[in-house]
A and B are shown apart, each in its own frame.
Chain A
Amino acid sequence: MTVVEFRQVNKWFGSLHVLRDIDLKINAGEVVVVCGPSGSGKSTLLRCINRLETIQSGELVVDGVSLSDPKFDAAKLRANVGMVFQSFNLYPHMTVLQNVMLAPIKVKGMAPRDAEKTAADLLDRVGIPDKANGYPANLSGGQQQRVAIARALAMRPKIMLFDEPTSALDPEMINEVLEVMSDLARDGMTMVVVTHEMGFARRVANRIAFMDEGRIVEEGQPDGFFTAPQSARAQQFLSKILSH
């Protein structure tokens, strides 16, 4: 079953053509890693999926709903699409537990007691049950990012979007976040991940989409992509990032 489908999608920021004729299908349970040089449109592509960015032409269908439908409701879509950002963006004035409980209570109308139980379970799952009553500022970057993942999971999303989730982390904290993401993938979560972590991409992704200058230049299985990239641009990109 297809949960995200881009059909000939184009987007401009002013005169800058950031997405060019994007065609991409993502099926339920699939993990798609989007990679490419900076400025290639990876994050923009991801941000279109939950309507943080709007598209100017083509069609984008997420969870059976066209985002260009006049009756489209962004909040309703976002309740089903979790997103994790590079900069964590936890709510600094709330405890870790409150961060995770907020959306289920306010968006789904869940009873606070149930929301608390769900939140506690999720914090357990991402490995930080003991920090539930701490504030985000008292957590390390890796812990904050795991809370951000728990916060997104609390809405029981159908799709999870990750926008460079480890780029702001110290090297020793990257793995704890990637492990949580690998577990999620193993549990069958549909994931779209923008990342420079090629080891993760190779191990966890079902498919790699390589972007350059707003286009998906190459798309395929990780093994094929990493061992024998087809396009010259991907060969050049991989030789630069895998050489060290």
Chain B
Amino acid sequence: MSYQFDWSVLFSGQSGSWLLQGLITTLQISALAWLLALVLGIFAGSFRTLPIGPLRWAASCYVEFFRNVPLLVWMFFWYFGVPPLLPQAVQDWLFDHGAEFWAGMFALGVYHGARFSEVIRAGIQSIPSTQFEAAVSTGLTIAQTYRLIIIPIALRLIIPPATNESLNLLKNSSVALTIGVAELTFQTRQIETYTARAIEALTAGTLIYLLLCLCIAALVSRLERRFAIPGMIVQMRAE
């Protein structure tokens, strides 16, 4: 092997600030997309468990439509497809204000919202139906029962698979580089282009993703213990 490693490229020139900017953009796009996905997922997942035909149908359409088309296609769709449908003034405004970021964020959010929805639906369906009946029997409406009882319990039950989905979302934010969002992978490639040091640049990117995901997983497992339902098995690990 004749390759000479040169790690100094990561600490010289603009590499450091590019990586930092990339990291910040990755965190921003992921956080916003995560919030969007969570809200869409809670609504769609809940609607799919309700005995109300039109809501179930709408939620099922959303889930099947978005989870069955590749994320990359959605990125292109929101960036290249949607803007021409908007009024010229809105288009101009968007392209002055980072259209690629918003398109990427929407694509990521709606795609993962569809996937979150299934996780949340599974959580809701694991709750015995008598729990729902007991709540509505006290006079709570269906909406109140979902908001106060069913969803708070379901969210606690689904923390492990939802963490998986959240980490997938974070990693999938790298797809946004294809529409020009200057996130972490984009910046890693930029370092590679400028220094011709592929291994060093990709190693830096890989480590940053890895650390980021590990930190999130650690944070979530703390939250999981903090919000554990007393009597559920998760408490045993906290001992």
Q: Does A79 reach chain B (CB closer than 8 Å)?
A: yes
Which residue in B130, B133, B141, B229 is a CB contact (below 8 Å) of A92?
B229
Q: Are B156 and A93 in contact (CB under 8 A)?
A: yes
Q: A89-B131, A107-B140 are in contact. Are A102 and B148 (CB under 8 A)?
A: yes
Q: Does B136 reach chain A (CB closer than 8 Å)?
A: yes
Interface size on A, residues (CB 8 A): 32
Q: A136-B231, A138-B230 are in contact. Are A91 and B140 (CB under 8 A)?
A: no
- Restricting to A170-201, which residues have a CB under 8 Å from any CB of B? none
Residues of chain A within 8 A (CB-CB) of B141 are 75
Q: Does A103 reach chain B (CB closer than 8 Å)?
A: yes
Q: A89-B128, A89-B130, A93-B156 are in contact. Are A106 and B231 (CB under 8 A)?
A: no
Q: Are B231 and A138 in contact (CB under 8 A)?
A: yes
Q: Does B137 reach chain A (CB closer than 8 Å)?
A: yes
Q: Complex Cα distance A80/B139, Å?
A: 8
- Restricting to B114-160, which residues have a CB under 8 Å from any CB of A? 128, 130-131, 133-141, 144, 148-149, 152-153, 156
Q: Complex Cα distance A89/B140, Å?
A: 15
Q: Are A135 and B136 in contact (CB under 8 A)?
A: no
**In angstroms, how far is the closest chain B Cβ from the Cβ of A146?**
15
B199-239 Cβ-contact flags toward A at 8 Å (1 or 0): 00000000000000000000000000000011110000000
Residues of chain A within 8 A (CB-CB) of B133 are 52, 83, 85, 89
Q: Are A85 and B153 in contact (CB under 8 A)?
A: no
Q: Does A57 reach chain B (CB closer than 8 Å)?
A: no
Q: Are A106 and B230 in contact (CB under 8 A)?
A: no
Q: Complex Cα distance A154/B138, Å?
A: 9
Q: Complex Cα distance A135/B138, Å?
A: 19
Q: Are A92 and B128 in contact (CB under 8 A)?
A: no
Q: Complex Cα distance A146/B139, Å?
A: 19
Residues of chain B within 8 A (CB-CB) of A76 are 139
**In angstroms, how far is the closest chain B Cβ from the Cβ of A55?**
17
Q: Complex Cα distance A138/B138, Å?
A: 23
Q: Are A103 and B138 in contact (CB under 8 A)?
A: yes
Residues of chain B within 8 A (CB-CB) of A79 are 138-139
Which residue in B131, B144, B230 is a CB contact (below 8 Å) of A135?
B230
Q: Complex Cα distance A154/B140, Å?
A: 13
**In angstroms, how far is the closest chain A Cβ from the Cβ of B158?**
14
Q: Are A155 and B138 in contact (CB under 8 A)?
A: yes
Q: Are B140 and A75 in contact (CB under 8 A)?
A: yes
**In angstroms, how far is the closest chain A Cβ from the Cβ of B131?**
5
Q: Does A82 reach chain B (CB closer than 8 Å)?
A: yes
Residues of chain A within 8 A (CB-CB) of B128 are 87, 89
Q: Does A50 reach chain B (CB closer than 8 Å)?
A: yes
Q: Does A137 reach chain B (CB closer than 8 Å)?
A: yes
Residue in chain B with minimal CB distance to A135: B230
Residues of chain B within 8 A (CB-CB) of A89 are 128, 130-131, 133-135
Most buried by A among B137, B148, B230: B137
Q: Does A78 reach chain B (CB closer than 8 Å)?
A: yes
8 contacts across the A-B interface (CB closer than 8 A): A52-B137, A80-B139, A89-B130, A91-B149, A91-B153, A102-B138, A106-B148, A137-B230
Given contacts A91-B149, A107-B144, A152-B138, 18 further A-B contacts (CB under 8 A): A50-B137, A75-B141, A76-B139, A78-B136, A79-B139, A82-B137, A89-B131, A89-B135, A91-B131, A102-B138, A106-B144, A107-B139, A107-B140, A135-B229, A135-B231, A137-B231, A154-B138, A155-B138
Residues of B at under 8 Å CB distance from A?
Answer: 128, 130-131, 133-141, 144, 148-149, 152-153, 156, 229-232
Q: Give 10 closest A-B pairs by Cβ, nearest first.
A: A137-B231, A79-B139, A89-B134, A135-B230, A103-B138, A107-B139, A83-B137, A137-B230, A78-B139, A92-B229
